[in-house]
Structure 1
Amino acid sequence: MAEKSFDYIVVGAGSAGATIAANLIERRKGTVLLLEAGANDRDPLIHIPAAVGQAIPRHTWPYAAEPAEETNGRVLPVLQGRVLGGSSSVNGMLYVRGQREDYDRWETEFGCTGWNAGEMLRYFKKSENNESLSGEFHGNDGHLRVSENRYRHPLTQACIRAGQQLGYQYITDYNNWRQEGCGFFQAATINGRRCSTSVAYLSGVRKNPNLSIVTDALVERIEIENKRATGVTWRRSNARHTATARAEVIVCAGAIGSPKLLQLSGVGPVDALEAVGIQPKLVLPVGENFHDHMHMSVNATTRHPISLYGQDRGLRALRNLTQWLLFRTGILTSTILEGFLFADTCNQGRPDVELHFLPVIDSFDDPVGATAGRTHGLTIKTGHLQPRSRGRVTLRSNDPNALPRIEAGYLSDPEDLAGQVRATRLALQVLEQPTLRAMIDEVFNPACSIDDDAAIEEWVRNSSKTVFHPVGTCRMGTDPKTSVTDLQLRVHGIANLRVADSSSMPQVPSGNTNAPVIALAEKAADLICEAA
């Protein structure tokens, strides 16, 4: 890379960074340097939907939350994408926006004027290219391709029928601000292939001479002079590089990476910076307000060998791969997280619980080892959507290679524990319905009665894990004492520096976070272009 000066430098090529960089190039706003700590996204496992379990350990930051009493002293992984496309290259691909109330609360409760549901809907529609839905709530001209399931497993269909037997309505559109019900997820896929932001946004601009993409580039600090961001320094292949930004530096490294980089650059709480020998340049609550969605895997074995177990082995694996390569059909087009149920379990007027239906036993992350030796079965991932617990992200040392410390605070608010208990009980109720009762051999995790609150609470503390939806650590707002950026996502007190990603959110939306991050980035791109 010969040029060392650009109009814009974007740190992080994930769901937000790829979206913003592509927008800047398409609108001809100047030259853009896009830096990504991970590798390119050429690994075929990234692009096969059903291979998500193999892609995650290969292309993620191994972040983990510190042990805490509320989760019985366990270390909880909080994996985040480290590859071109970021977490959109390794997630479950589910297209979920959340609820109207989420974004209206951003405005009314957190003072984020201009970020309400009506405004966010504009950007959801702008980013979306939905193959089936249109009209008031959906877009058909955006970069992000949203598709129906190409493969629907009989066990998922049975779970959805069980949801209806429990009294929930079958719905085909859960993104029209009426979320409650059960059905099949739509996914960010194109003809049976993952549609990450690398595919959706960067593929059309990669050859543009105004865009420079550098992978395997670990950004060590933002260069700040006289309270103005002037560029960044990064390391690649044991060599250090610095580039300057004529217009802006835009940080899109996620809810863990963004606060880490700001703190390495001297922006953050005094105690957190001085503890690792960094002289504060600006005091802001960087790293505070960390929160995330928790979930548990409720597991059951089936009477007959009908699940996805074994489909990744031997001749069956070869057959499935051949079908996917030739026709983009079959089992490998499954997102694994095929179906859903959104439910209001506390009579608050909107869903507080989300269930994911999987036609296989979830052994990917098994904190208690309950799935060992099990073969055919199904899993209902169940979790509370509106967590109140808050934590903190701080530096472990001033070494940019060191992973940050995540004091997550999971389950520290009693309401969150109560919500997870309600979520677990709902999943167990689904498994008791006639359709599933005829197919299930044993519900083995949790191995307790649906009415045993104490046993379920203990199981939640032992078995809960994150869904990898961290947000909030550089949240926007109007007061520098409680927020990191203003409502245009500009860092308080530092010119030419923005943070635009999941860390900017004041409160996590009620659902999976990839679509909301992309919508936020689309709005951020408008704000950046308007300021140019």
Structure 2
Amino acid sequence: MYDYVIVGGGSAGCVLAARLSEDPEVSVCLVEAGPRDDHADIHVPIRFPEFFQTQYDWAYRSEQEKFCEGRQIALPRGRVLGGSSSINAMIYSRGHRSHYDQWGNLNWSFDTLLPYFKRAENNERGASYYHGNDGPLPVCESRSKNLISAAFIEAAIEAGHPANDDFNGAIQDGFGFYQLTQRDGRRCSAATAYLQPALKRKNLTVKTDFMVHRVSLEGSTATGVTGVGRDGAVTIQAAREVIICAGAYNSPQLLMLSGIGAAEHLKDQGIPVLVDNPEVGQNLSDHPHALLVFTHPEKVSLLIAAEPRYGKQFTEEHNGPLTSNISEAGGFIRSHPNLPAPDLQFHVAPTMFADGGLTTKHHAISFGADILEVKSRGEVTLTSHDPTANPRIQHNYFSEPEDMELAVASLRMSLHFSEQKALSKYVKTPVEVPASDSDKDLRAYIRSYSSTAFHPAGTCSIGTVVDDELRVLGTERLRVVDASVMPTIFCNPNAPTIAIAERAADLIRGIVPLEVI
């Protein structure tokens, strides 16, 4: 028996475990399906793609995507302490204030969340109106700053866009290097930043390799969780609350397995219906992108990271190519000048992303844009009442024509960047590029080459699945806290997920919300 049982040791779960266990009078149990984050290479930034399709990844794939030539798209998600913050690109990006405000909920507006962004943040640039410098999460400059990434920024400026050295300040528009969640050149996941310092507390228990099968409910009241760990089947009781932090794919899956979801769908799976809510698992959104890939003869790409001297540089000096987050630089653009915020986010990688994944065949550059204000919506549903079966994930990328038109516009911008002088020596040989710049060829390229930017959200949305305090509608003592509660996704989700969890910790503890200082 614990006061709080937290399901999922990802970004939100680590924050909540650390914050709730600050009170020595309460007991907290954090359960994570995957292993501990003690593999040495998890903390070497450039290594993160090596963990895809391993025991540290849920290794999901979408259903056949109708508007992407029927392809099944790989959907990596962290299955390890730290969750996806242990295998992501470490970009610290909050998103534009107008996107939060478009949720139409003052409890989750940008001004409401800004104090929590600041409370979480330890920005090496120091404190300001927009930034904190005494929080647990380090936010740092890139220690790689590859020449190719710098050339991409210069090309964007040559193409008429402004420079920007702080995408999380007063102005988001422009191009520059991303700030990263690293400390001394090493990855700093939510597990490293929040959970590790809290592990010495006697009132915090962490169970890894524990797969939760369902939430235990008496009527509509959550009383704990049941699952399987190293010692077999176990029920863990919660005296105060069960808090699901399993992510945009697994949180709705767990609710449905527990009898909370669309009644007809649950009945089809042989699951007793406790709460009929057809919105559970709906509203799935993500950022698709189609990258351009060129090879070149310049021996400055991230391929050089394999040279022994750079391993020594990483160990002794805490910088160099092994500190690269791969997607080192980029920027934000408005496709139309009258938009209230940027709707495209560019990324550049000084390496080869081909065939939907990272390869190490040639010196290369890859770049393109995410569609931020994506209109298309998908869903997460069950394939079985068996809790070990993967959920059915259908993103419906480009099902809305507006998304395809914006993708076409972004691809034209990428092609324009490739024509700038600053990139001339890095775009020698096209590897993955459209056949031409006609609308027909651009659309065909997008359908054939688009992949995920790893930003799923929305499946347990505020207002439809959870209330303003993230309590699951129709239940008691049950909340969801993770990216699934965001009604829309418009940025790299790690930073807002951490801020949402920071505020959720105060809501759970009954602490008066922070105000902007």
Same fold at TM > 0.5: yes
Mean CA deviation greater in 325-334 or 163-172: 325-334
Are 1:299 and 2:293 an aligned pair? yes
Matches within 5 A, 1:505-516: 505-508=486-489, 510-516=490-496
Q: Which residues of structure 1 form unaligned runs of 5+?
A: 478-482
Two-structure CA RMSD over aligned residues (Å): 1.6
The answer on whether the counterparts of 2:326 and 2:350 sit within 8 Å (CA) in structure 1 is yes
1:120 CA displacement:
1.3
Are 1:517 and 2:510 an aligned pair? no
Matches within 5 A, 1:67-106: 67-106=64-103
Q: What is aligned with 1:487? A: 468
Aligned equivalents of 1:298 and 1:341: distance in 2? 16
Aligned equivalents of 1:491 and 1:172: distance in 2? 39
The answer on whether the counterparts of 1:97 and 1:515 sit within 8 Å (CA) in structure 2 is yes
Are 1:16 and 2:12 an aligned pair? yes
Q: What is aligned with 1:361? A: 352
1:364 CA displacement:
7.3
Q: Secondary structure at the match of 1:492?
A: coil
Are 1:441 and 2:428 an aligned pair? yes
Q: What is aligned with 2:396? A: 409
1:444 CA displacement:
3.0
The answer on whether the counterparts of 2:5 and 2:29 sit within 8 Å (CA) in structure 1 is yes
The answer on whether the counterparts of 1:12 and 1:34 sit within 8 Å (CA) in structure 2 is yes
1:90 CA displacement:
0.4
Question: CA separation of 1:242/1:100 partners in 2, compared to 1, >3 Å: closer, same or farther?
Answer: same
Q: Which residues of structure 2 form unaligned runs of 5+?
A: 513-517
Aligned equivalents of 1:414 and 1:46: distance in 2? 39
1:65 CA displacement:
1.1
The answer on whether the counterparts of 1:501 and 1:520 sit within 8 Å (CA) in structure 2 is yes
- Return the TM-score normalized by structure 2: 0.96
Question: CA separation of 1:410/1:440 partners in 2, compared to 1, >3 Å: closer, same or farther?
Answer: closer
1:495 CA displacement:
0.7
Letter in 2 for 1:440: V
Q: What is aligned with 1:52? A: 48
Q: What is aligned with 2:321? A: 331
Aligned equivalents of 2:68 and 2:411: distance in 1? 16
Letter in 1 for 2:352: I
The answer on whether the counterparts of 1:205 and 1:211 sit within 8 Å (CA) in structure 2 is yes
1:438 CA displacement:
4.0
1:372 CA displacement:
8.1
- Which aligned segments of 4 or more residues in structure 1 are displaced greater than 6 angstroms? none
Aligned equivalents of 2:155 and 2:106: distance in 1? 41
Q: What is aligned with 2:58? A: 61
List per-residue Cα deviations over 1:400-435 (Å, max 9, x = no partner). 110000121111000111111111111111111111
Question: CA separation of 1:414/1:157 partners in 2, compared to 1, >3 Å: closer, same or farther?
Answer: same
1:346 CA displacement:
2.7
Mean CA deviation greater in 18-27 or 8-17: 18-27
Give the length in aligned residue pairs: 509
The answer on whether the counterparts of 1:255 and 1:501 sit within 8 Å (CA) in structure 2 is yes
Are 1:468 and 2:454 an aligned pair? yes
Q: What is aligned with 2:515? A: none
Aligned equivalents of 2:23 and 2:414: distance in 1? 47
1:133 CA displacement:
4.4
List per-residue Cα deviations over 1:277-319 (Å, max 9, x = no partner). 111111112101111111112111224333222532xxx1x33
The answer on whether the counterparts of 2:29 and 2:205 sit within 8 Å (CA) in structure 1 is yes
Aligned equivalents of 1:94 and 1:74: distance in 2? 27
List per-residue Cα deviations over 1:97-135 (Å, max 9, x = no partner). 00011110112xxxx331111011111111110001431
Question: CA separation of 1:7/1:426 partners in 2, compared to 1, >3 Å: closer, same or farther?
Answer: same
Q: What is aligned with 2:385? A: 398
Q: What is aligned with 1:458? A: 444
List per-residue Cα deviations over 1:182-216 (Å, max 9, x = no partner). 00000000010101000000111112110000000
Aligned equivalents of 1:380 and 1:462: distance in 2? 16
The answer on whether the counterparts of 2:334 and 2:341 sit within 8 Å (CA) in structure 1 is yes
List per-residue Cα deviations over 1:67-94 (Å, max 9, x = no partner). 0321111001121110000000000000
Are 1:321 and 2:302 an aligned pair? no
